[in-house]
Chains A and B, each alone.
Chain A
Amino acid sequence: MTAATLSAPLPRGGGVSRFLYGRPGLVLLLLLAPPLLWLGIIYLGSLFTLLAHSFFYLDEFSGVMVREVSLDTWKEFFRSPAHWDVVLRSALMAAAVTLASALIAFPLAYYMVRYAGLRLKGLLYLAVMLPLWSSYLVRVYAWKLILAKEGIVSWLAAQTHLTWLLEALLATPVVGGPSLSTSYLGTFTVFTYIWLPFMILPIVAALERVPATVIEASGDLGANPGQTFRRVILPLAFPGVVAGSIFTFSLTLGDYIIPSIIGKSTPFLGETVYRLQGTAGNIPLAAAFTVVPIVVMGVYLMIAKRLGAFDAL
């Protein structure tokens, strides 16, 4: 190598980089503008438009929406006990599905994070994600066949001489019914199945962030595994459970397909909104109903914050 090649400066490119260097504000603006516009106009904008509709009302005679601000729709919403039934039924279902998902997801997530080897962990991830790759409708209809009166579950119960157990379950008041596919029990099962991955993944993420030494330290300081779980693992993984529950709770609350295919004919929130804005043509009342899950989730998040769910974030 000669002295000339050493001393000659190398050609440089990157005119744009040099322009942007020292203008961090501009970089931020360029990066954030498209997603912010999307979020602000298309997402939040349409949501607020929808909510605004709940302050319009339907003309009783013509059935046409009147674009004037009034509380008539809300009065109608609060007057009818049937509306409250829908809200309560949906909220209870969402709570039950969330609880069941958390109970199923936590041990699985814990196993994936703490015990499974690299290969097994990959396989388990795949197993959790795989159902999400197939159509939701296909899976729900598959469950209808599984839960039907002449379906796989009844057949299995018969083969294992457990028909009495299935019948006892179906005879349970409220949640039971003529068959699993026409009972709340069935709706609950399918909801839990469909939303379970959304609970597992955040819990896995939360547990991954708990250092192994923290768990060892708890044992080292005299805590048995039960105490370690209660005092250390659960509090540290709780934000993950809350994140998962936000998914399972809100997804269950708003879903209108599963309860229309599996379960009783009594309507859930999503179905009600669907019917009101479609066949009934009552957009203002449908809008009022959509406010409900938003309020419920708001209250839920406030409680979660009170419980300290976000402290360890």
Chain B
Amino acid sequence: MAGEGVPAVTFQGVCRHFGEVRAVDEVSFSIADGEFFSMLGPSGSGKTTCLRLIAGFEQPDRGHIQVHGVNVEGVPPFDRDVNTVFQDYALFPHMSVGENVEYGLMIRKVPRAERRKRAEEMLGLVKLDGLYARRPGQLSGGQRQRVALARALINRPRVLLLDEPLGALDLKLREAMQAELKTIQRQVGITFVYVTHDQGEALSMSDRLAVFNHGRIEQIGAPAEVYDHPATQFVAGFVGQTNLLEGYLAQRLGGFPASYAVRPERIRILPAEAEVPPGFASIDGRVSAVTYLGANSRVEVEVDEGGRLQVVEQNVEGGMAMEGRAPGTAVRLVIERRHIQAVSESR
């Protein structure tokens, strides 16, 4: 969905240091207009600092940041055409839900009647009709989250920044909100910059995502690209689960003494001595443990020549005890060669 023309946000060699800590270190990327762009990484990886740099709460020590082609160095947050949904929602506790949503319009001196009309519309968009007069303290976490979203969207920003907006919600609600956020983003057509440490969230929602580690970007790409072709060991380990092959296993399965990543669900378990299909690499071992996970099971296999591989199998048949998966059973593992992905050391 990379749009034409001027990118919504551009970072060029941006650095932001806090004392000795390099929170953001030589980061460059650009986000297309209308894109749903995620910044994924563990805590302290620099993703939130990048968001705060776009919002204007932080200024870069070096490098340039452009929002819609305009340099924003020295531009205070209140002069930027960018709005933020905060992790803790940051609703104004002394105002009603409606007053919260209208806040940006009130500051811009939009007449009261129009303010009210647009606030009601926004509350409708986030499915909070009729809660105009409530206080934030009377709302549930999920509802507060929606108020924060409505409060940011009502200003029709060109870029919406979301800082782990679903982090405080429970699993079911989070999944529902993920789908809803994506729908809202398509409806309003605004560029979303979404910070999260949840790789599932980033994979399911984003047009593209950037994986952060130690203040740097390890990889940028579409979700399937990042998942299927992780560029570095860190990305392979952080986005989804992975078997990192090194030493003997790397030589044996990849062909070179380098580093390779193989997704556990890309490995198939065959009976011992089974025929290896063409285009597949194979290795023999014994089942050492099986963990039942409901939809699927994780099977650990001790490779005969040393080393261990994890395999995830769908529980198509149902039941817990699976035929031929008892610990100690000799098995042959086969992996399609294109799924054995060479990865570099983390940058």
Contacts and interface: CB of A to CB of B under 8 A. Distances in A.
B316 interface: no
Given A213-B86, A216-B86, A217-B84, A222 B94 contact: no
Given A221-B104, A222-B78, A216 B93 contact: no
Contact of B92 (A214, A219, A224, A308): A214
**Most chain A CB atoms below 10 A, which of B84, B91, B107, B108:** B107
Given A221-B83, A222-B78, A227 B107 contact: yes
B93 A224 contact: no
Interface string A203-226: 000000001011011111111100
Contacts of B92: 214, 217-218, 232, 236
Interface in B78-112: 78, 82-84, 86-88, 90-94, 103-104, 107-108
A221 B86 contact: no
A235 to B, nearest CB: 5
Contacts of A312: 93-94
B65 to A, nearest CB: 16
B332 interface: no
B152 to A, nearest CB: 8
A213 B90 contact: yes
A18 B151 CA distance: 52
B57 interface: yes
Interface in A176-233: 211, 213-214, 216-224, 227, 231-232
B77 A220 contact: yes
B94 A220 contact: no
B155 A211 contact: no
A57 to B, nearest CB: 49
A223 B151 CA distance: 13
Nearest to A308: B94
B55 interface: yes
B50 to A, nearest CB: 16
Interface residues of B, number: 24
Interface residues of A, number: 20
B interface secondary structure, majority: loop
A311 interface: yes
Given A220-B55, A221-B83, A235-B94, A213 B103 contact: no
Nearest to A235: B94
Contacts of B84: 216-217, 220
A15 B104 CA distance: 60
B76 interface: yes
Given A221-B155, A223-B107, A214 B90 contact: yes
B90 A217 contact: yes
Interface in B224-258: none
Given A211-B90, A221-B151, A216 B77 contact: yes
B78 A224 contact: yes
Contacts of A223: 78, 103, 107
Contacts of B87: 213
B107 A221 contact: yes
Contacts of B151: 217, 221
B93 A236 contact: yes
Contacts of B91: 214, 217
Contacts of A231: 103, 107
A220 B151 CA distance: 11
Contacts of B55: 216, 220
Contacts of A235: 94
A214 to B, nearest CB: 5
Interface string B270-293: 000000000000000000000000
Interface in B136-155: 151-152, 155
B83 to A, nearest CB: 6
Contacts of B104: 221-222
Given A214-B91, A221-B151, 4 more contacts: A216-B57, A217-B92, A221-B155, A311-B94
Interface of A: 211, 213-214, 216-224, 227, 231-232, 235-236, 308, 311-312
Interface of B: 55-57, 76-78, 82-84, 86-88, 90-94, 103-104, 107-108, 151-152, 155
16 contacts: A211-B88, A216-B55, A217-B92, A217-B151, A220-B55, A220-B77, A220-B82, A221-B152, A222-B78, A222-B108, A222-B155, A223-B78, A223-B103, A224-B78, A236-B92, A312-B93
